[in-house]
Amino acid sequence: MKYMIETNGLCKKYGDKYSVKKCSLKIRPGCVYGFLGPNGAGKSTTMKMILGLVQPTAGEIRIFGEEVTERNRIEILRDTGSLIESPSYYGHLTGRENLEIIRTLKGVSRKEIDEVLQIVRLEGQQKKKVREYSLGMKQRLGLAAALLGRPKLLLLDEPTNGLDPAGIQEMRDLISDLPEHYGMTVMVSSHLLSEMDQMVTDVGIIDKGKMIYQGSLEKLHEQAKGSLKVHALNQGTAVRILDEHREKYRIDGADLLLPERSEREVADVVTMLAAEGAQITHVEMQQKSLEDIFLALTGRQVSL
Amino acid sequence: MLREWKTEWMKIRRRKIGLLVGAFVVLIFAWMTWAIRDSSKEQIYDGWRVCFLQFSLINTILLPTMIAMLASRLCDAEIKGNTLKLLCTMEKKGRLFDLKLLTGAVYLLLFIIAEYAMMFLLSAALGFGRPAEPRHLIYFFLENYTSSILLLLLQQVLSFFYENQIIPLAAGLFGSFAGLFSWFLPGAPVWYLIPWGYYSKLAYISYTWDEATRITTYYNAPFNFPGLLALLAIIAAGYAAGRYLFVTRKEI
């Protein structure tokens, strides 16, 4: 299969410390690939290496199936768009003038400016100087610049950083629409796991520079089983009964967490506990969120 | 290449760089007019030599500051707006460095042309008796433009590497003083090592002042071709080093 981005053994070392270590990414065409990890995990460095902004210490990068070298980098990147960390802009110029510069560099037609302004809904603000824009507008302008030339591949590093909840929702909708409407493949990084859940189809999780999971979001959810939360007034009795029946469980404060099971099996456990006087007041099936999955994979909490 | 250079001019819209250079042209014209107002008949007769020397001296004092401001205006928009990480996905980093330098060099060329225009204007207005020697017109360019290019290169590297533009501007001010001192000790070889010293090292008009008669006599000095070669070598080395540093060391 020809991947849009493929990296093999990608490393970046600063001094003695690895910022990214043997990172192997595979991004299939037409997906929204969520690149997850806590702050400092190596997401931005990896994306910068893909774009040739940072020189890798070791490893190979392929974009559109072609190995990227300093010689062919600009040519290959012609079909990509990017928004890395904070937006890039000339504050003394208007939004349209900023896009005009990018358009000239990319060598695309002038009418594309109107199209991308429409996509990011900035038509009404195009004649305003960018230094007068809000952060959300600057982010949208950054996305418009990335979209110029209808690239096949888009790399967006933390595009929702600093946006208010409405702005985050708007950006999320825009990004998730791109593959369907414009046939683009999107790689988007974030440390906000919850927002990824609603936006991406594939996921790569990086922690301390190492890839710890890569695959579809669906499979990740499947892999991470849920649990049955039981609240019993008489917890001691409940624990005794579960021990007697060799049931697996974990005490979580006043609750007991049992492995996920079918509805029939849930009914059996509840009946058994109630019959022995455990005094059940609450039973709940818990699905693991991405945060829980991340916690299970890395053993530490991620910032939200 | 032309497409990329076009964007350099698009980026500096409303940066008022033309106004900055224009203001220095006006300042120098005012300074020269003031300096020449009480000149003797002999000095007016030898007006071209006076101009070549005085313009070079004024350039030594003012140009380091103007060039620091010029380089800062050209480069700080990229630093302030975090644009390198976007631009360097569309054009090579080294080319960006070159095109910035080229843009600055065009402004300096316009500045030198304006200085020639001022000299011709003064000549027409005051009636310089002795005509300008063509080789002196060329030496003026070699001395002032080449020295300024070295300063532009230095200031561009500083402006790219320091987010706080006060540092490159302070370097420009320091350069003005260093350059001025170089005229008092023109023989000292140390000025070959100091970028702001080349205006004086390449001066080709000298003068004597007779205390008794209080008359200043201007005369031709041989043009310092070895000095020019040293300057060109330093520019080449500085360009290679500055570009290499920008391409490999400038963090994006």
A257 domain-assigned: yes
Q: How many angstroms separate the CA atoms of A69 and B106, rounded?
A: 33
Which residue, of A222, A253, A277, is where some domain finishes? A222
B147-181 in b/e form (b: 16+ CB < 10 A) is bbbbbbbbbbbbbbbbeebeebbebbeebbebbbe
Residue showing tokens 């630093």:
B79
CA atoms within 13 A on the CB side of A40: 4
Considering only CB atoms, which chain A residues are within 8 Å of B73? none
Averaged pLDDT, A72-91: 91
Last residue of a domain, one of A201, A222, A243: A222
DSSP code, position A165: H
Q: Determine the residue among A93, A98, A127, A129 to mutate to test chain B binding: the one whose Cβ has the most chain B Cβ atoms within 10 Å.
A: A93
Indicate if A103 and A213 belong to the same structural domain.
yes
Give how many domains chain B has, as a whole number: 1
Q: State what percent of residues in chain A have pLDDT above 70.
A: 94
Same domain, A168 and A273: no
Sorted by sequence, the CB contacts under 8 Å of residue A72 that are 6+ apart come out as: A66
Of A173, A196, A222, the last residue of a domain is A222
Return mean pLDDT, chain A: 86
Q: Are A84 and B86 an interchain contact pair (Cβ–Cβ within 8 Å)?
A: yes
CATH of the domain at A260: 3.30.70
pLDDT band, residue A304 (cuts 50/70/90): very low
Residue A302 included in any domain: no
Phi, then psi, of B210 in degrees rounded to 5: -90, 115
Exposed, middle or buried, A272 (CB in 10 Å: 0-12/13-18/19+)? middle
| Chain B hits for A57, Cβ within 8 Å | none
Q: Are B63 and B31 in contact (CB under 8 A)?
A: no
Distance from CA of B95 to the nearest CA of A (A): 12
Phi and psi angles of residue A174, each rounded to the nearest 5 degrees, phi first: -60, -45
Q: Are residues A241 and A281 in the same domain?
A: yes
Q: From CA A82, how far away is CA B145, in angstroms rounded?
A: 40
pLDDT at B63: 94
Domain that holds residue B147: 2-249
Which residues in chain B have Cβ-Cβ distances shorter than 8 Å to A80? 89
Domain assignment of residue A304, yes or no: no
Do A175 and A243 reside in the same domain of the chain? Answer: no
The domain total for chain A is 2
Whether B89 sits inside 8 A of A86 (CB atoms) is no
Low-confidence ranges of chain B (pLDDT < 70): 186
HSE-up (13 A, CA, CB side) for residue A100: 15
Domain span at residue A90 reads 5-222
- Asked whether residue A139 falls in the same domain as residue A282, the answer is no
Distance of CA A203 to the CA centre of its chain: 7
Q: Residue B155: which of B143, B145, B141, B169 has the closest Cα? A: B169
Most confident of A211-215, A285-289, B56-60, B123-127: B56-60
A276 near A246, Cβ under 8 Å? no
Q: Report CA-CA distances (Å) from A106 to A57, A262, B5, B88, B162.
A: 29, 56, 13, 12, 29
Count CB neighbours of A194 within 10 A: 11
**pLDDT band of A223, cuts 50, 70, 90:** low
pLDDT attached to residue A303: 46
* Among B3, B88, B248, beta carbon nearest to A104: B3
pLDDT given at position B241: 95
> Choosing among B90, B249, B252, which should be mutated to test the A contact, i.e. which has the most A CBs within 10 A?
B90
> Are A185 and A141 in the same domain?
yes
Q: What is the pLDDT averaged over residues A132-137?
A: 89
Whole-angstrom CA distances from B167 to A8, A258, B153 are 42, 64, 15
A270's CB contacts (< 8 A; 6+ apart) are: A230, A280, A283
pLDDT at B126: 85
Q: Which amino acid is at A104?
A: T
Looking at residue A63, its pLDDT comes to 93
Q: Tell me the chain A residues in contact with residue B82 when contact means C-beta distances shorter than 8 Å.
A: 85-89
Contact B71, A83 (CB under 8 A): no
One domain for residues A13 and A103: yes
Instruction: List chain A residues with CB under 8 Å of B1.
Output: none
Phi, psi for residue A249 in degrees, rounded to 5: -155, 170
The type of residue at A46 is T
**B11 contact A CB<8A:** yes
Q: Note whether residue A54 is domain-resident.
A: yes
Rounded CA-CA distance B146/A67 in Å is 43
Q: DSSP states of B182-238 as a string?
A: HHHSTT-GGGGTSGGGHHHHT--EEEEEETTTTEEEEEE----HHHHHHHHHHHHHH
* pLDDT value of position A100: 95
Q: Are A77 and B90 in contact (CB < 8 Å)? A: yes
Residue A249 has pLDDT above 90, yes or no: no
- Non-local (6+) Cβ contacts of B45 within 8 A are B128, B129, B130
Q: From the CA of A153, how many Å to the nearest CA of chain B?
A: 13
Q: Which residue has the higher pLDDT, B153 or A38?
A: B153
Task: Report chain A residues whose CB lies below 8 A from the CB of B89.
Answer: 51-53, 74, 77, 80, 82
Q: Hey, how many other C-beta atoms are within 10 angstroms of the C-beta on A301?
A: 10
pLDDT at A180: 85
User: Which segments of A15-56 are extended strands (E)?
Assistant: 17-23, 26-27, 32-36
Q: Are residues A213 and A278 in the same domain?
A: no
> Is there a contact between B89 and A77 if contact means CB atoms under 8 Å apart?
yes
The answer on A147 and A97 residing in a single domain is yes
pLDDT(A289) > 70: no
The answer to whether A202 and A34 have CB atoms below 8 angstroms apart is yes
In a domain, A300, yes or no: no
A290-302 pLDDT, tens digit each: 667 777 776 654 4
Do A16 and A64 have their domain in common?
yes
Of residues A94 and B191, the one with the higher pLDDT is A94
Q: Do A217 and A97 sit in the same domain of this protein? A: yes
Higher-confidence residue of B213 and A109: namely A109
Whether A143 and A283 map to the same domain: the answer is no
Residue A41 has pLDDT above 50, yes or no: yes
Digit-coded pLDDT (tens) for A139-171: 889 989 999 989 999 999 988 877 778 878 888
pLDDT of residue A300: 57
Q: Which residues contact B225 (CB under 8 A, 6 or more apart)?
A: none
Q: From chain A, which residues contact B within 8 Å (Cβ)?
A: 48, 51-55, 74, 77-78, 80, 82, 84-93, 97, 100-102, 104-107, 142, 145
**Residue A270 class from Cβ within 10 Å (0-12 exposed, 13-18 middle, 19+ buried)?**
middle
- Rounded-to-integer distance, Cα B64 and Cα B72, Å: 12
Q: Determine contact, residues B6/A106, Cβ cutoff 8 Å.
A: no
